[in-house]
Amino acid sequence: MVEEQVASPESAPLSGTSQVEIPIAGMTCAHCAETLQAHLRAMPGVEETIVNFGTGTAFVTYDQAHISSDQILRAIEACGYRAGTASLNLRVKGIYCAACIPNALGIPVALGALYPFMGMLLSPLMAAAAMSFSSVTVIANANRLKRFHPKEM
């Protein structure tokens, strides 16, 4: 299985866009890369494809709502090439599960977790506000990560 990455905001026009790097074996010339690239680009849901004969890799940007990485792998193999597998380990700094705290505390309180202990129930308006607040940290983290650009190694 090829690991998928969510594309950066600059390269991803749609929210369900992913990028994948796939090692390709069996290409013998630049024409092989051009043919495979044209075949992948013609697939519904594939937004961009770069096949590099020199490095033996294909970089594919695709819409997850229309096509999966497994379908892309099968298409590569249907063209007569072997799609390898790759893995990517990312060390992301700054995510310390800050979004989990409001969710772990706010949602049970909104659902009435305090009633057995304190005999207290939140009004539906307050419960809705507590549940909505749990989304604020998720959105804040998403906006922060949208601006994150990893350093080149």
Separation CA 72–CA 70 (nearest Å): 5
Indicate if 68 and 138 belong to the same structural domain. no
DSSP state of 151: P
Using CA atoms, how far residue 127 sits from 79, 116, 119, 139, in Å, is 55, 16, 15, 19
Does some domain include residue 13? yes
**Boundaries of domain holding 113:** 100-146
Indicate if 10 and 41 belong to the same structural domain. yes
43: CB partners within 8 A, 6+ apart: 62, 67, 71, 72, 75
pLDDT tens per residue across span 122-145: 788 877 777 777 777 778 777 877
pLDDT at 103: 66
Indicate if 9 and 68 belong to the same structural domain. yes
pLDDT band, very low/low/confident/very high, at 87 (cuts 50, 70, 90)? low
In the chain, how many domains are there? Answer: 2
Does some domain include residue 92? no
Does some domain include residue 152? no
The residue from 83, 113, 132 where one domain ends is 83
26: domain CATH number is: 3.30.70.100
Tokens 């005999």 -> residue: 119
Model confidence pTM above 0.85 = no
